[in-house]
Each structure stands twice: as C-alpha cells, then as structure tokens.
Amino acid sequence: MKVEVLGSSAGGGLPQWNCRCENCRLARQGDESVVPRTQSSVAVSPDGRDWVLLNASPDLRDQVNAFLPFHDVEGSRGTRVRSVVLTDAEVDHAGGLLLMREAGRLDVFTTPAVREHLTKHWTLLPALESFLDLQHRSLRVDVSGPSVGLFDGRLHMDTFSVSGTPPSYSVRSATPGDTVGLEIRDADTDRTFVYVPGLGEVTDALQARLRGASLVMVDGTFWSDDELAAVDPSAPDARDMGHMPMSGPDGTLRILETLPEAQAVYVHINNTNPVLRRDSTPRDRVESAGVTVARDGMEFAV
Ligand code: MLT
Ligand code: MN
Ligand code: ZN
C-alpha cells in the first residue's frame, strides 16, 4: 500500500489567509525555517495506480494537480481517484468535495453522523448530488462486522470512533461517529496504516491499534493546550476543540514515542504549532522521539 500526504496542515493551512502568528508570517515571507502547507488530506493506493482520498480539503484542486499519478489515465477526461472517505464533517476535511463535482460519479464513505451533518446542517452532499452520481457508502462504527473492501478487496478498511466535537455549524450535540479514525490493512502484506487526523483522547483501544500498525498518522493540531488562545484570545483550549495536544503527560507524543514497530507521523498540524519551525525546541523534541512532522508530498510505503 502507498500513502501520500496531500496536505499536512489543519484548517486554514499555512499560512492562513488572515493570520500573522509567527509561523504564518515566516511562511508568507518565504523563510526557509517554515515550509507552507495545504489543508489536511491523504491519498491511499494498493498499487500506486488507483487511489482513494482520505478527506477532501479546500486545497484539493492544487493538491490533485500536483500529484501526477492521479492523471495517469487514457482519454481526455478522467482520474485515478476512485472514492473519498471522510473522517469528520469539518470544512477542512469535506469542503473539497465541491471541487470534485465534474467527476461524473463519486463514491463517498461517511458515518451516519457525518452524513447527517453534511445533509441537514451544511447541505453539501445534496448540493454535490445535483452535479454527479453520488454513491453514498456507509461507514459503521463501534460494531463488529466485516471490514469495508476497497479496490476489489486489496485493501480492507475498519472505522472506529474517537473522541471529538461536532462541527461548529451543526446544532446537535456530540454523537459517536462525528469523528472517526481509519485502519487500512493491505490484504497481501497484512500490514496496516492507522489514520487519526482528529483525536480528542487516547484510549487503551486506540493505543492497541497504534501498536499493531506499520504506519500511523495522528492529530498534530496543537503542541500545547492554550496555543491558539495566544493568538486569538477568544479561542478555546485544544482539548475543548477535540484535539489532544502533543506535549504534556497525557499528550500524544508520549504515546507515539513508545510505539515499537510503527512509523509515526503527525498530520493536521495547525499553523500556530511551534513544531512547524525547523529550529524550535518542540520540533527537536518530536524528532528526537523518532516521530515525523509531515510535509505535503511525503510518501510512505506500507
Ligand atoms: C478542527 O479540526 O477542529 C476543525 O477543522 C476546525 C476548523 O478549522 O473549523
Ligand atoms: Mn480540522
Ligand atoms: Zn498563523
């Protein structure tokens, strides 16, 4: 299985259009210590030919144009992107679906909770349906059952619920399936890739999944709990936004540095996060722990 990081930043990207935090200023100036990043999405393929997108970011157009394997098709129209899986209904993960409206047909995998957000509270899926043949594929969470087969069974995908918050545009209270992680197994090698770009709490069950994986990509939104409040005093803490910070005794770095087998990578990194600066102490801490800070265009083989 191949995994391509299309976008490694959280919502807003780096630099974010209206932000003058230190990272955004440096990235805008072209300072080499902070590399610009697009919003959160990865692509997965069993063979490097056919691909599924995990999340569709508002930067999808640039991401797709930059990744040549998607364009290895016969004829004047078409793509190697066969489907999209959403891990939540946030703008940064779903907004790019509207940029795929010329597809003709698109398979979109959602949990019932995500589909409800994108049908009742933000009518993105009905809007998309007016442009193309939208095949709704259901992701079940927290029920044991057969995995979803992708690419004629060459990949198997399990979905699991993680702690998160419903999107701020939605009126209903939190429910399981608002935010999910994915475990994708290669049928040939039996190796797994675990993708959890939003993560409010690290449970024992999640740790067990991470331990069994060859590659994990985990929520790297914030280094510290109060990081966003430093640039936006009205902002809530990281945990209240459904993002466990990297640092601290219960932070995600303590978990990722103990994984025996897995290559661990932070994705969905917010533009305020000091790990984005190549010369920062937090970046040094992460890299000394053997964990990778993702950049757009990184490729992994599982
Ligand atoms: C999140 O990950 O918490 C959301 O995408 C925040 C946002 O950009 O609205
Ligand atoms: Mn997000
Ligand atoms: Zn910023």
pLDDT in tens, 191-229: 999 999 999 999 999 999 999 999 999 999 999 999 999
pLDDT (0 to 100) of residue 146: 80
Q: How many other CB atoms sit within 10 Å of the CB of residue 292?
A: 18
Sheet holding 263-267, edge to edge: 148-150, 155-161, 180-186, 192-196, 215-219, 263-267, 292-293
- Closest by CA to 39, choosing from 14, 7, 67, is 7
Ligand 1 atom with the shortest distance to the CA of 90 = 5
Query: Which pLDDT tens digit goes with each residue over 146-205?
Result: 899 999 999 999 999 999 999 999 988 999 999 999 999 999 999 999 999 999 999 999
- How would residue 261 be classed by pLDDT, with cut points 50, 70 and 90? confident
What pLDDT is attached to residue 260? 78
Percent of the chain with pLDDT over 70: 100
Statement: residue 142 has pLDDT above 80: no
Q: For a pocket test of ligand 1, which of 38, 86, 91, 218 has the largest count of ligand atoms closer than 8 A to its C-beta? A: 91
Q: If you average pLDDT over residues 114-123, what whole number do you get?
A: 98
Helix, strand or coil for residue 283? helix
The string of DSSP codes covering 144-197 is: --PPEEETTTTEEEEEEE------TT--SPP-TTSSEEEEEEETTT--EEEEES
How high is the mean pLDDT of the chain?
97
List residues near ligand 1 (CB under 6 A): 10-11, 90-92, 198, 241-242
- In ligand 1, which atom is closest to the CA atom of 165? 3
pTM beyond 0.85: the answer is yes
DSSP letter (8 states) at residue 139: P
| Kind plus residue range of the DSSP H or E element containing 23 | helix 22-29
CA angle (222, 297, 109) in 5-degree steps: 75
Q: Which of 67, 68, 116 is nearest to 94 (CA)?
A: 116
Question: In angstroms, rounded to a whole number, what is the distance separating the alpha carbons of residues 168 and 72?
Answer: 38
**Beta partners for residue 58, in sequence order:** none
CA of 234 to the centre of ligand 2 (A): 18
144 confidence band (pLDDT: 50, 70, 90): confident
Q: In 3-state terms, what secondary structure has residue 31?
A: coil
